[in-house]
Structures are given as C-alpha cells and as structure tokens.
Structure 1
Amino acid sequence: MRNTARWAAALGLTAAAVCGPLIGDAVAAPGAAPSSLYAPSALVLVTGHGNDAATATPERAVTLNCAPTASGTHPAAAAACAELRGVGGDFDALKAADGVMCTKLYDPVVVTVQGVWQGKRVSYERSFGNACMRDAASGSLFAF
C-alpha cells in the first residue's frame, strides 16, 4: 500500500508538471478554483523543409499562448492569436494574402501544430510548395 501511494504521488506530480500549464491549476490542486475563466490555448508550432512532418527537417519551433492574452516565443503572438480567433481555430480556414506572388520553385516546407486550442486538443499538419506559399497562405501564424 505504501508503494502505491508513492507512485500515485509521483504520477500526480508528473501530471501536474506536464498538464498544469495547459489545463490550469485544477490538476495541480484538486478542489481549488481554476486560476482563469478562459479555456486554455497553448500551441507549439514547427516549420521545416520536407514533404511531411515524418521526413522533414525541423528548422524552427515556437510556442503560442492565446488566453487570456497573447504570449509565447512567437514573434507576432498577438497577430497570430487574432488570426486564429478570426477563423475559430480552423487552421485550414486561414486566408491567403491578396496580391502575393510566389515562384513555382518546388522546395517543400511543412508546418505542424500540436497543443490545445480553447480547451480542445489539436494536431495539424500541412505541406506547401515553398516558403513563400506557406507565408502567403498562413498570414502571421507561421511567419517565424
């Protein structure tokens, strides 16, 4: 019984350390009121060269937190959060910029998103023909 209690305590601490930032203080302190009324929105965005995430070489990764305020290592966190809110978190609904002209040079890039958007887990992957096409299609979200 004593070992079971130790494992439970260790696992509880691990869950709080890993999930606490994503789902609030309720995991870290059962019965405590959440520290925020906002659903969590914490994402890790990665971009790299290649046709898909499994074979691509990651080049850059940033974090993006959108609730209650925009933060993270993303260089344009406020703009990226505003774009995501504008499409309801639907990454495929991001609009291509008007008037952007890209070469047809094929140098594929892939972007991935993992995390939580407004309290729901998200996993997204999309390939583009080149970096210009990625930037034109995703606004400021993948411009890092």
Structure 2
Amino acid sequence: MRNTARWAATIGLTATAVCGPLTGSALAAQAAPDSLYAPSALVLTLGHGESAAAAGPARAVTLTCAPGASGSHPAPALACAELRAAGGDFETLASGTGDVMCTRQYDPVVVTVDGVWQGKRVSYERTFANECMKNSSGSRLFAF
C-alpha cells in the first residue's frame, strides 16, 4: 500500500511539473494584448484662416507612429521621431525657432492634430501668422 501512495504522489507531482507551465503559458497567451505598443494614430490638417472652424482644412494627412511609422505624411519616420523626442508635446514642436527670416505679412495658417498619441486622446490647434512662420519652426511634423 505504501508503494501505491508513493506512486500516486510521484505521478501527481510529475503531471503538475510537466503540465503546469503549459497551462500557465496557454492562459498567458490568451490574455496577451494584440500589440505591445500603445496606439499612436493622428490626423493632421492645414487650413488658411484664423481658426480651424473658420478655415476648414485645405490639406490633411495621416500619421501612425506605433508600432511603425506610416501614413500619408510625407516624412512619417522623421515626424514620429520628433514627436517622441518632444514627449508628445505639439506646442514644443510648433514653437521651435529655425534660421528662417519671414515677412510680417498676415495671412493666417492653422494646423490641427487630432487622434491618439501613445494611447491617450489628443487634440491640438495652432494658428501661425503665415506659411513661412509655420515652416520656420523647423518641425517635420507640420511640414506637409
């Protein structure tokens, strides 16, 4: 009788040791998210006027940064890299100063950014005095 109990305990421990990790990994595989990256997908628009509501978009591009850079933006990889380096702060990118001299002509240009950045909903609007001022920020994000 002692051998039967010993064999039962041995078989039970062996089954637990062999099948336990398989069961745990199967459960972990079922609970795993679809992606390891938080979504980052943006729509950027450009319009002529003092506000997005008054201007209406003249151009629009898409930008997806996670898991890889893509979209209709002319330089998605550079724009995503700039945005990551700025910590997702659009104002920092729009306020940059380039070595460009612009006229004081007032012909307002408005850019908007709407979408999701690293899993968080974002909405941004900035009006520049003219197209040259927009381009003088030096940011590839707004160069479309």
Going by fraction, where is helix more abundant, 1 or 2?
2
Give the 4+ runs in structure 1 shifted more than 6 A.
none
User: Is this contact kept in 1: 2:42–2:114, CA < 8 A?
Assistant: yes
- Number of aligned residue pairs: 114
Are residues 1:62 and 2:61 paired? yes
Long gaps (5+) in structure 2: 1-29
User: Is this contact kept in 2: 1:97–1:139, CA < 8 A?
Assistant: no
**SS in structure 2 of the partner of residue 58 of structure 1:** coil
Equivalents in 2 of 1:141, 1:125: separation in Å? 13
Greater Cα offset, 132-141 or 54-63 = 132-141
TM-score, length of structure 1 as denominator length: 0.75
Equivalents in 1 of 2:92, 2:78: separation in Å? 16
Equivalents in 1 of 2:54, 2:138: separation in Å? 22
Residue 65 of structure 1 aligns with an amino acid whose one-letter code is: T
1:131–1:45 distance in 2 versus 1, CA, 3 Å: same
Long gaps (5+) in structure 1: 1-30
**SS in structure 1 of the partner of residue 58 of structure 2:** strand
1:128–1:53 distance in 2 versus 1, CA, 3 Å: same
Residue 132 of structure 2 aligns with an amino acid whose one-letter code is: C
Name the % identity.
68
Equivalents in 1 of 2:59, 2:75: separation in Å? 15
1:138–1:118 distance in 2 versus 1, CA, 3 Å: farther
Residue 100 of structure 1 aligns with an amino acid whose one-letter code is: V
Give CA-to-partner distance per residue, 1:19-63, whole Å, 9 cap, x none.
Answer: xxxxxxxxxxxx764321000000000001000011013110000
Equivalents in 1 of 2:38, 2:140: separation in Å? 23
Equivalents in 1 of 2:98, 2:139: separation in Å? 10
